Structure 1
């Protein structure tokens, strides 16, 4: 794993925008627009490194599924902050019927410096983004810069294949709606949903656009409808389950939830059981089930325990994205137990390459490792101002 600098391609911004990356720049707090897509540098891996990371990712995914089963079997929903009996019931049924439910993708965030074992920081299993840049923009960058080279990136083909393989699980004879929130000012959700809609169409599915805000409720039929008053039988939503089950229409979501048994009216993709994997409590449960595992960091739910005196820790709200609410507690400071429910994970500072803190986003499609996206940040927390850099596989 090596960082190399390079001169960006002429007209790079227009190029990546044409490939679907509609926000290649990010406005920072000082008002200045700076590259989000950053091709002034790139990362190099050997094939052996990538194969080792693929094995780690697939093992972690299997461990996460085992942890989800443990949560359901031992009724540990309270550890995830899930106390509503109806939500617990919906997630349990969804988990028990998971073979009948379409489940598409997820992204592991890993700490890795190219030397020791990769460490799991978190699993974005419900609404992961940075997909277009990982699947599309960096692939075309590689073809321009390193024709004939390779990349850890089978995302597009695997997504199309996943839709094709799971098409029989979706409601038949009706389009699959693809929904994003109109409140997304940046356009990241819109871009991600547009790309996933395209992969579904390439798999032969009939699709329709809708925003979450346009989804209506037909009181006469007791069903969700789109802006043309058609029943919504299936919907991919880039909208977290914790919002879907607490919004004003949450009761209707639970009343009409199709968990693969054919008794409800709306099937949501991702399925409700993904709530088990998208919660930071998963990190503590993994450590409990697999103590000392080389790819895990010690993590707890009741406080930092020994972590405060052994190198520091990070407190993470159970639900949150883009680093929101994450607090770094350095070594040698008194332990702090926050009022909100958190996961307390050992501090593993992101490695710095040329002064840039790096996190690896390793993708899973279905049950298989599918690709890599790399983000850099100036601080230890990867936030909204992080930059995406491409990578390539080259001979050692």
Structure 2
């Protein structure tokens, strides 16, 4: 694994914007950064990334199967009791799921360590599944990369295959909160993949979804929303006004309610308890007193934190790093620190995607800090040798 500097395409903005990637620059700073790429060998990908992704995914599915049988564990994950049956039933009835992303710390000198799972509402999908792949093809055509260069990236085709395997039905709605360009980029990409699978895929803002007196979710024209992809976390839905209507409605949700078990950082201590010592996991436990200082070599995380918010990290030599944020109303965990590898001035995080139950590819984020945030840069990758 190495980082290689490469000339960026002079017309890269036009290229990425044609794919709907309009958020390539955030607050004047690069989010998409193609001035370099990360290079892996086939062996590193297959043995050190793909195989651990499959293994951790299987452990997560086993965890869900155990948690739904235990009200104590559902409660431990801060799932409200009135939704226990919803979560349990969605798993036992096999409600289909679509995608997820593990974040790994990996430097090619030891096993990849799973820092967390984003299994309900992960973003950075468009840039991983389409933008970096088109960058690869373009750079090969320009002679910047050799013709044998590839990527670990079947995300788009795996999404089409996953959508094609969904039970047949009426229109499939894709929703995100209005005003979020990044979220809309994600749902538009998913909607496009669903269209390739022959699905009537439609957009609706979450705020535009209506609820009839009979408890049925509808679009702006009063049409029943039979199938809904919602880029909106279950932990929010559980506490919102319309959330109380979900258990009694007849809409198929993607991601399904059982994903609330594995989108929750409270699952990381459970993973460790159920698979102690696994080489791809990190020691983790519930933080019973988050008022205390974070121990050296550990990270404090709220259950429902997103994009590095409210993280406290103390390095082995005692240096404390923190990120502010709004996630202060849920329990916390402590997780052993697996420091991200540093390439030049950048700390590197590997996001490994699962589509359905298939390890499908990676996207790489880098930051000037050990804490990866929503502003962290996305950098493409190449597989050679």
Provide the rounded CA distance (Å) in 1 between the counterparts of 2:243 and 2:185: 26
1:160 corresponds to: 160
Q: Within the alignment, does 1:215 sit opposite 2:218 as a pair?
A: no
2:224 is aligned, of 231, 235, 239, to: 231
Shift of 1:102: 2.1
1:175 is aligned, of 161, 171, 174, to: 171
Provide the rounded CA distance (Å) in 1 between the counterparts of 2:299 and 2:332: 10
Q: 1:167–1:205: 8 Å Cα contact kept in structure 2? A: no
1:143 corresponds to: 137
In the TM superposition, 1:20-59 aligns within 5 A as: 20-27=20-27, 33-52=28-47, 53-59=49-55
Q: Within the alignment, does 1:364 sit opposite 2:354 as a pair?
A: yes
> Where in structure 2 are there 5+ consecutive unaligned residues?
142-146, 321-327
Provide the rounded CA distance (Å) in 2 between the counterparts of 1:198 and 1:334: 45
User: Residues 4 and 310 from structure 1, CA distance in 2 versus in 1: closer, same or farther, beyond 3 angstroms?
Assistant: same
C-alpha distance after superposition, 1:276-330 (max 9, x if no partner): 110001110011111111111100014499xx89742111110121111111134
Q: 1:193–1:238: 8 Å Cα contact kept in structure 2? A: yes
C-alpha distance after superposition, 1:333-378 (max 9, x if no partner): 699xx98411110112211011200000000011110000000011
Provide the rounded CA distance (Å) in 2 between the counterparts of 1:37 and 1:334: 29
Q: 1:237–1:268: 8 Å Cα contact kept in structure 2? A: yes
1:235 is paired with a residue whose SS is strand
C-alpha distance after superposition, 1:261-280 (max 9, x if no partner): xxxx1111110000011000
1:106 corresponds to: 100
1:246 is paired with a residue whose SS is coil
User: Comparing 360-369 with 246-255, which one deviates more in the overlay?
Assistant: 246-255
1:189 corresponds to: 183
1:272 is aligned, of 257, 263, 280, to: 257
Q: Within the alignment, does 1:320 sit opposite 2:305 as a pair?
A: yes
Shift of 1:69: 1.6
1:65 is aligned, of 56, 61, 64, to: 61
1:262 corresponds to: none
User: Residues 310 and 323 from structure 1, CA distance in 2 versus in 1: closer, same or farther, beyond 3 angstroms?
Assistant: closer
Count residues in correspondence: 369
User: Residues 217 and 153 from structure 1, CA distance in 2 versus in 1: closer, same or farther, beyond 3 angstroms?
Assistant: same
User: Residues 334 and 164 from structure 1, CA distance in 2 versus in 1: closer, same or farther, beyond 3 angstroms?
Assistant: closer
C-alpha distance after superposition, 1:93-150 (max 9, x if no partner): 111112xx22100000000011110000000000010001101111111111135321
1:23 is paired with a residue whose SS is coil
Q: 2:294–2:313: 8 Å Cα contact kept in structure 1? A: no
Shift of 1:85: 2.1
Q: 1:303–1:344: 8 Å Cα contact kept in structure 2? A: no
* Off by >6 Å, runs of 4+ in structure 1: 332-335
Provide the rounded CA distance (Å) in 2 between the counterparts of 1:23 and 1:252: 34
Provide the rounded CA distance (Å) in 2 between the counterparts of 1:2 and 1:109: 18
Q: 2:294–2:312: 8 Å Cα contact kept in structure 1? A: no
Provide the rounded CA distance (Å) in 1 between the counterparts of 2:29 and 2:52: 33
User: Residues 334 and 392 from structure 1, CA distance in 2 versus in 1: closer, same or farther, beyond 3 angstroms?
Assistant: closer
User: Residues 158 and 334 from structure 1, CA distance in 2 versus in 1: closer, same or farther, beyond 3 angstroms?
Assistant: closer
Provide the rounded CA distance (Å) in 1 between the counterparts of 2:329 and 2:127: 37
Provide the rounded CA distance (Å) in 2 between the counterparts of 1:340 and 1:224: 29
Q: Within the alignment, does 1:346 sit opposite 2:339 as a pair?
A: no
Shift of 1:66: 0.9
1:17 is paired with a residue whose SS is helix
Q: 2:294–2:314: 8 Å Cα contact kept in structure 1? A: no
Provide the rounded CA distance (Å) in 2 between the counterparts of 1:138 and 1:249: 37
1:167 is paired with a residue whose SS is coil
Shift of 1:70: 1.9
C-alpha distance after superposition, 1:156-181 (max 9, x if no partner): 1100000001133xxx2x21111111
